[in-house]
Every structure is written in structure tokens, then in C-alpha cells.
Amino acid sequence: MASVDTILIGGPVVTLNPAAPIAEAIAVSGERILAVGNRAEILELRNGNTEVVDLEGDCLLPGLIEPHTHPDLCAQCYSWIDVSGFTHKRVESVESELRAAVARAEPGEWLFAFGLDPMLTEELGVWGRERLDEIAPQNPIAVMLQSMHTLFVNSAALREAGIDETTPDPGGGGRYDRDKDGRLTGKIKEAAAEFAFLRFFDQSREAMRTRIWEQHQRYARAGLTTIGMPGLFVPPSMLGVFEELATRADLPVRTVAYLRHEQVDHVDWRPGDGDDRFRIQGVKLWYDGSPYSGTMLLDEPYLESRLCCCTLGIPGGTTGHANFEPDELRELILRLHREGWQVLTHAQGDRGTREILDLYEHALLAHERPDHRWRLEHCALISPRDLERAARLGVTLSFHVNHVYYYGPELRDSIIGPERAERLMPVGTAVAAGHRVSLHADSPMYPPEPFRLMRTAVTRKTRLGETLAADEAISVDQALRGVTIDAAWQLFAEDRIGSIEAGKLADFTRVDRNPHSVDPADLDRIQVSETWLGGRKVS
């Protein structure tokens, strides 16, 4: 038998292995789990060099997994001026933060801010070119909404980016907003248009290496040991930074990456290239946008509320829009399927999820490939019928469930209305339809908070303590699977991570309480003590 390097005892081990869900001890050899069982039999395996770790009553979980997060975008946005609703509860505080940053800057220096939040910051009001011209008359400035689908810029930023009233929209859903007279308002919608401004932020290799490493550590502190990165927000050449960081002995988190569809022909990476530390798995598409920019594609219009029309700038009667015409994607998706890519698509609205599922179905029926595990991301208002159709097609779902917690009241009262809000993030219906669902926070939109994701999925509580769409609640065990073994399965990694079983990688999250033993309302109060990656304590 292989030499035992480490034995962990002294606390419950929640394995997520249905054949043996609870254990007392684990033996680790090198990077892998050698044995899982009761304390006495595992201690018999030790030798003179074995380190015995006493958990002191803490609970050991499989290393937690978030299959949809953006370390590259976090590396940028979290280094910008913080104007988030998590920090600033009143608009005066936001404006003060921006003015202070302008006062520190050199004339002409670019300024970037992240987290403008019409829901969490009181009386935020209308933002755009004129307001930012007044705040920053001599500096190009770009201020991104917390949802990341809208960017506000001033006149100096428009000039520096070379965008004026004659500049066409860039396609791919990107839009430079104009008023009724055709003048640019400074409101920029969707990533395809935002890139014209984001390119001015320092994305040098050295700067990004440092910032991405900081985000790796941030994920580990939250209890995560593996992340899925759907869609690069940096040039494809930056994949080399992730690959380089993955060789470090102290790497705290594994990454499974997905290219943007337009990057596929500009890289040498193919599906499955890489290793257990950094791997390329698939391709990410964005079919529709965000509820908070009016770009989520709906069957019925957004509400004509003060929040929609006056703050978010969503015109009355709009149902949002797709980033592509279906015919633009039909052959692309079929090609990706034939080449073996796992396809993920951002889709929020009922119409948006239906239309992309139509395209999925066309490709999957035209070219049979078993166990493709294509995904739909976010799934805010996917219909029961499409949940069942997705299950038949083998399409799996990852839910952006903390929309319920952070913005549920506004979605219900001001954006989509109470009837549709009762179908918001239908995780329970998905599980009942046979789906293996995962949960994600989509950082930097929301902080990496796996236990808050679980709490929301189980209790359906908003930040105000109200219950929203109670019928869509799932059990604690189902929620825990959504951040461990089922998330691993969506990443094609369930044979290596996601549960504590002999032969798998020794990735663990140590917490102060067993999630099965706490009141579901307190799941978000569980504290992470340590994370382990490949048999090493890394956080």
C-alpha cells in the first residue's frame, strides 16, 4: 500500500458519496485520498512519517466548487474604485467616492469604477454622460453596474475610445445608447460594446498575474477549491498566465476555463487540453443579457415602473433582445458540437432560454454525441416545459440563485412582477425534472459565497427576509451537491473531485459546522477554517 502522508480525524466527514455519506477519518497519500472510513481502521494505516491532523470537531467537506465565476474580470473590477451597493447605501456616498478619486488623478488619466447598484443604493437616479462630465471634467471615466451588463462613460471616455454619433454598434448585442436625437447618452450595453473602453485599463501580463493570484486566494478563503471560468474577459494570450500560475506549488484553486466563441480560432487549445490544475473545456456564448439593463429576453414586457423607466432606463413595452439572430448561431453551434466543445450559454429570460434551447436541440439532434453536458447559465425564468426539454436533451443547468437574495424584492415589485417572480430561479422544478443542478455567484457580480448560495436555494429568502417562490426550494443535501459533486459533474471532473472517495484528489473544505446539522436559515453563517488542495492546506 502507498505511504500515508496525512490522516485527518476528529470531526464528521461529509463525503457526498451516497454509498458512505459520513465518515470519521481520511488517509491521504500524495495528492490523492487513499482511504475513507472509521477512525480506528484509518489510524492503523499510519507510519512514522504520517502527520495526523485533528479537526477538533470541525466538519470536513469535499472542496467546494463554483462552476461559473470570472477571476479575470474580478482581477480588473475589484481593483477599480468601489461604488458598490455593498459599500455605499446612499448616492451621496457614491458621488463622494468618485469625486475623491478624480481629485487624486492626473488630468487625462483613465478612471474605472465598479458596482453601481440601483437596487442596493438608495435614490441612485439616472446616470450617463452629463452626470459623469460634471464629476470628471478632465478625466475619461467608466462606471460599471454591479450586473456588469451596463457601463456608463463620460464625453472624454467616448473621445478617447474614438466613438461618436456616427459609430455603428459593434454587434454581438453590444450597443452605444443614443437619445431620440441620436446623441450618445454615455450608456454602454453588453460586453461587445464595453470592450471599447475596458481596453484602456492596464491588462499587462505582470499586472494581471498579480491580480489573478489575489483572486485565487479570495476564492480559497471562501471555501472554494475549483472554479469554472466561462468566457475570457482578457485576450486569449492571457491563458498563459493561468497556465503559469497553475504550476505554482502553492496554487490554492483549480480552474476549468471556457473560451468566448470568437476566440476559438485564435488559440491552439482544444477541448480537454490542460491538466487537473488548469484545463480548457468548452466555449461560452451570451444569448441575452441582464434584467437590470433591459436586455434579458422575455415573452412579456418589463414592468413600466419608476425603477425600470427612470433609473434603469428600460423603455416601456420592451421585452429585451437577443444578442444574435438565431440564424447567426445555428451553424456556429453545430460546428462547436462537431469539434467536441462543451457549450455554455448565458440565458436569463423565458424567451431567451427557449430560443437558445431550440438551437441546442438542432445541433444535438443533427450530430449525435453522448454525454455532451451542454449547459444553460443563470436560467432566471426558464419555463417548466423547457426544463423538461433540457433534461431530455441532456442539457444541464447552473442557477444564479442569489438574484433571489440580493434583488428579489425589486424583481418582484418593479421589474418582472409578482407572477413571474414566483417562477424566478426555478431550482426546485429543475431538480424534480431530473436535473443535476449547480449554484453560482458569478463574481464579480456577487461575492463568492457558497453557503449563502445554499441558504438561498433552501430557504428562498431575500435580503429583506421575505420568502420568494417558496415552491422552488430544494433540500440542504441537494444544495450541497450543487456546490460539490454535481458542479464537478458539470465540469467533467466528477471522477477526480466533488466527493471524498478513495482515489480522488484530496481537495477539502474545513468548516465549523456540518451543513446538515444547522438551521437552514443559518447556512450562510457557516465559517470556513481551511481549504486543502491535493493533500496540502492552502488557506
Average pLDDT over residues 66-85: 96
Residue 2 has a pLDDT of 81
Q: What is the pLDDT of residue 354?
A: 98
Average pLDDT estimate for 266-279: 96
Cα dihedral 389/390/394/397 (nearest 10): -160
The pLDDT value given to residue 1: 65
pLDDT in tens, 88-108: 999 999 999 999 999 999 999
Residue 69 confidence (pLDDT) = 98
Q: What are the structural domains of the chain?
A: 6-57 (2.30.40.10), 66-70+212-533 (3.20.20.140), 81-198 (3.10.310.70)
Task: Give the pLDDT score at 59.
Answer: 98
377: helix, coil or strand? Answer: strand
Cβ count within 10 A of residue 354: 18
pLDDT tens per residue, range 385-441: 999 999 999 999 999 999 999 999 999 999 999 999 999 999 999 999 999 999 999
Rg of the chain over Cα atoms, rounded to whole angstroms, equals 23
What is the pLDDT averaged over residues 168-186?
94
For residue 234, the model assigns a pLDDT of 87
Give me the pLDDT at residue 172, please: 86
pLDDT band at residue 357 under the 50/70/90 scheme: very high
Full strand arrangement of the beta sheet holding 508-511: 22-23, 13-14, 59-62, 508-511, 528-533, 536-537
pLDDT digits 0-9 by tens, 26-54: 999 999 999 999 999 999 999 999 999 99
What pLDDT sits at residue 25? 98
Position 194 scores a pLDDT of: 94
The full DSSP string for 24-82 is: SEEEEETTEEEEEE-HHHHHTT--TT-EEEE-TT-EEEEPEEESS--HHHHHHHTTSEE
The rounded percent of the chain whose pLDDT value lies above 90 is 95
Q: For 458-508, how does the pLDDT look when each residue is reduced to its tens digit (9 = 90+)? A: 999 999 999 999 999 999 999 999 999 999 999 999 999 999 999 999 999
The mean pLDDT value of the chain amounts to 96
For 289-313, the pLDDT digits (tens) are 999 999 999 999 999 999 999 899 8
